Amino acid sequence: VSNAGVGMVGPLECQSLAAMQSLMDTNFFGLVRLVKEVLPDMKRRRGGHIVVISSIMGLQGIVFNDIYAASKFAVEGFCESLVVQALRFNVAISLVEPGPVTTEFEAKLYEEAERTDYSRTDPETADIFTNLYLRNSKDVFASLGQTPEDIAEHTLRVIEAARPPFRHQTNVAYTPMAALKHADPSGALMTDAFYKLVFKYDAVLRLSLR
């Protein structure tokens, strides 16, 4: 089971390339290093199961999560490319894709975001992030967040499955979000829906979450 991960949230202009590279080294290359270690023996034995804790953000990018989403997209692409070859050797690969999970990981991430200096971005972007994104994110976690124990139960079911699924989403509330992307290959439907949700109907969003 690969569960290593670090987060990053905020305006792109306020994040250093060094921090981005460090995140990718953990979230993506950490997984690659693990798979390179375990896969050869699994192939020799012609049996094994690699379970990767991904994210719904590996399927759908979320505003102000640019680099974190990119790392999870990389994880998804890596596993999707590898799974067919692995199956030839009777090795299963499963991606567990949670939405928000209420842990110290997220709490520390958002506490740090509230203390960050946003002078490197424009005032409008800083205002959108602090007064729209952070406020809505707290409501999302309070309303839709899962517990670590819940994610562990989902992961256990994937591990014990007779025919392990390649993808397993842990929160059905996010299924429509992922479906929007596939409903319109041009991306217009998804982009328009998220734009309106963030900038036009944020009050409705907050009310519905509460």
Beta-bridge partners for 18: none
CB 190 within 8 A of CB 181: yes
Q: Domain locations in the chain?
A: 12-209
CB 39 within 8 A of CB 91: yes
pLDDT tens for the chain, 210 residues long, are 999 888 899 999 999 999 999 999 999 999 999 999 999 999 999 999 999 999 999 999 999 999 999 999 999 999 999 999 999 999 999 999 998 888 777 777 777 877 788 889 999 999 999 888 888 887 777 777 889 999 999 999 999 999 999 999 998 887 777 788 888 889 998 889 888 888 887 666 666 656
The Cα 129–Cα 133 span in angstroms is 5
> Cα(first)–Cα(last) distance of the chain, in Å?
34
Residue 2, phi then psi, degrees to nearest 5: -100, 115
Which residues are annotated as catalytic? 68
What sign results for the dihedral spanned by CA atoms 26, 29, 33, 39? positive
Q: With respect to CATH, is domain 12-209 assigned 3.40.640.10?
A: no
